[in-house]
Structure 1
């Protein structure tokens, strides 16, 4: 369903993604992980056809997203961006309805109301449907954005840090929805910083480091202490049991603050005390 071959991306003369290749199979969730600046979001944008490639190729089903008309592409893949802010005032239901626009004037349009209602219910946003999205919290807006993606009903779905703004209840519920999409035949690619979530919900992992693939494969092969510690530049312990994979970074010890910061803070406290 999704094949990535030797993809490189340059932005402003700088190589952000370098010679990345992997395949995401139908009915699976592929996790993109890696430290900040590794190229995950840039790669996801290119896979969706929203950013040009410098070299290489992406194949979505039998389609090249780089040359496919936007409306046709919107019937093949849907995208939930990391930034879920909305620049204009819309009712929540109107935002979710935007996911149905690629299907306007098709036989699928007859299902619009049913699908919109189902997407709202699945994401726990039905009670928000008549509210202005501008007044919602970040987590609520993220759930509305996920509802829009669900309403689009495409065979390939991309998520960029979908649960970053959500509380633990909706993090798990939303990741469960992502998993369910795959179980019903979608090809899903999701960018995640939460390594434990990636281990729990993904079938395969592509780990990026400075724009290149540091490791790729199933969870067990990629999630090792050696690989993760090297990629993230921090000691990480990986424990594998019958219950699953658990990732635990070493806790940082105090001592990273520069002495001038500590001295200034102490001076400010002393002055405040003296004035009292």
Structure 2
């Protein structure tokens, strides 16, 4: 199955206002063509402004947003996505995800996924998918809308959180894996093993962590407010790690999760 999610994009989590405008404009200027945002980030309008000011043809871009938990119902899903599109300055996004399964909301996976599929049918989004779903919930999503309608599961993955059972399941289903928090809030940057590998490649530890993720077949969406870091992150695509180096990084797994909000997160595999 060919990959349908761009392997490299720029993330915008925790960035707002002029900070995110500058970050996205810099990213697009140096060659990024995929941008990841979400309703809850509160920056869709800023991202839209950055895209507009970049003057890059819409067809060249891949824009992802995520529906927030309060908008999962049939009454709110479509209006909320239309609001996102208006903020982003586009008629449709390329990918829309359910942001968190939020089991405490008492809305079934089938219901939220069917509401999202309706948005696809209406042409508001080219692709749909899920984020932060465990194996059981991913199965429920597949049952609800069909495997062909699950473009990706965007999950936290880093050298310190490798989530092998879930990743292996997604691979068997040929669902693209998108890794967020690939640098674990920067915690992996001081790791001695990554430093050793980085020294061998004359690279940064951030580049090594991103290269590891991409070599595992994951899409990555790192964010940065610094142009130099955005450039360096992009160059991670040029790094080829050896089998031995990949094994060294595999051994770093600590099942250390950075993002696990109560009432939103599932029981992890």
TM bucket by the smaller chain? Answer: 0.3 to 0.5
TM-score by length of 1: 0.40
1 or 2 for the larger relative contact order (CA 8 Å, sep ≥6)? 1
* Higher fraction of strand: 1
* Higher fraction of helix: 2
**Greater CA radius of gyration, 1 or 2?**
1
TM-score by length of 2: 0.41
